[in-house]
Amino acid sequence: MPEQETPEPEPTGDGAVDGAAETEKQIAELEDSWRRTAAELDNVRKRCAKDVIRAREQERAWVAARWLPVLDNLERALEHASSDPDQIVEGVRAVHQQALAVLADLGYPRRDDETGKAFDPAHHEAVSTVTGDDLVPGTVAHVVRPGYGTDGEILRPASVVVATRSA
Amino acid sequence: MPEQETPEPEPTGDGAVDGAAETEKQIAELEDSWRRTAAELDNVRKRCAKDVIRAREQERAWVAARWLPVLDNLERALEHASSDPDQIVEGVRAVHQQALAVLADLGYPRRDDETGKAFDPAHHEAVSTVTGDDLVPGTVAHVVRPGYGTDGEILRPASVVVATRSA
């Protein structure tokens, strides 16, 4: 809806001359309102394009910054590697858990426990098939590479080996 | 500018009645154009708000997905840790390089070689000070935690120890 109310055409008054002047004024006001709304439309379009670019940049920086502590800890684990090689495994395991936590926090948890579930092309990507007496055909026999995301938003489907009926 | 041209007031024609009808038609058209532009303005505003939200979501997913190969490789390095503990150090070093490459590719390279540079609050965060005969006061004596980003866009300033004049 217009921000300003459209002036209602006033009933033409006393004389024809007054009426004509009134009408001309009304037309001029309408044209002015229209032009201003059109200019605002143009501004909003331009501003929107800038807002979208800025939103992307901000989000990129925000998400990238979440990984810096993971990198810091990875470097710390490597620094201690030469002095105590056994310690690095524990350190890297902790970094791995931290990385999973960052992803989950961004809305993309690791999708575990896919083995045995019915194959679902929305969540799984079949990389090969396998047959076996203890396998239910059409289910995930083995996860080759884990998937990430929620049911509503899959960031990456899990790469899986699918059980099939033996020939 | 309006998408449609504002109709120019036509010279009033033969009779007063014709002129009045013409004018009324012109006013109705102007009002219609204005209303449509105002409705479009409203639509663009609403669409823009949605565009910004969607841009953020897309960017978040895109940036997060860049880290999945890093995680995959971190997991692979850990899987091999029990069989060959020495190999994990090389594997983790490679993952670390991969993580740095992802950050650089996102526009946030690691800022190396800060030691010896003049302290600059835009790029450095002083965590402590140090004095020494071989140190130039006001320069970075030592980097405690690396910074990331370009001169134009610092993602995180480097945490540094600053050299000061001895008392």
- Indicate the SS3 state at residue B11: coil
Give which of B18, B33, B63, B112 to mutate to test A binding, by max A Cβ within 10 Å: B63
**For residue A54, what is the nearest residue in chain B, using CA coordinates?**
B52
CA B90/CA A84 separation, integer angstroms: 14
CA dihedral B26, B31, B33, B34 (to 10 degrees): 140
Which candidate from A38, A51, A106 shows the least CB-CB separation from B48?
A51
Query: Concatenated DSSP letters for chain A?
Result: --SSPPPPPPPP-SSHHHHHHHHHHHHHHHHHHHHHHHHHHHHHHHHHHHHHHHHHHHHHHHHHHTTHHHHHHHHHHHHTTTT-HHHHHHHHHHHHHHHHHHHHHTT--EE---TTSBP-TTTEEEEEEE--TTS-TTBEEEEEE-EEE-SS-EEEPEEEEEE----
Most confident of A22-36, B1-15, B49-63: B49-63
CA angle B72, B73, B78 (to 5 degrees): 100
Mean pLDDT of B60-67: 96
pTM recorded for the entire structure: 0.80
Q: Which residue's structure tokens are 């033996």?
A: A166
Q: Are A25 and A2 in contact (CB under 8 A)?
A: no
Whether the complex's predicted ipTM surpasses the cut of 0.95:
no
pLDDT of residue A3 exceeding 80, the answer is: no
Interface of A with B in 10-29 (CB under 8 A): 16, 23-24, 26-27
Listed in sequence order, the residues at least 6 apart from B78 whose beta carbon sits closer than 8 Å to its beta carbon are A89, A92, A93, A96, B88
Burial class from Cβ neighbours inside 10 Å (0-12, 13-18, 19+) for residue A162 reads buried
CA A120/CA A67 separation, integer angstroms: 31
Alpha carbon A89 to its chain centroid, in Å, reads 34
CA A32/CA B11 separation, integer angstroms: 20
> Given this model, what pLDDT does residue A118 score?
95
Q: Which residue's structure tokens are 């140190």?
A: B135
CA A19/CA A30 separation, integer angstroms: 16
Report residue B15's pLDDT band, with 50, 70 and 90 as the boundaries.
low
CB atoms B41 and A42 under 8 Å: no
Report residue B4's pLDDT band, with 50, 70 and 90 as the boundaries.
low
Residues on chain A touching B72 (C-beta within 8 angstroms): 145
Mean pLDDT of B62-84: 90
Max Cα-Cα span within chain B:
102
Report residue A18's pLDDT band, with 50, 70 and 90 as the boundaries.
confident
Is the CB of B97 inside 8 Å of chain A's CB atoms? no
Give which of B8, B74, B82, B159 to mutate to test A binding, by max A Cβ within 10 Å: B74
Closest CA to A147 of A19, A117, A164: A117
> Given this model, what pLDDT does residue A16 score?
61
pLDDT tens per residue, range A32-82: 999 999 999 999 999 999 999 999 999 999 999 999 999 999 999 888 877
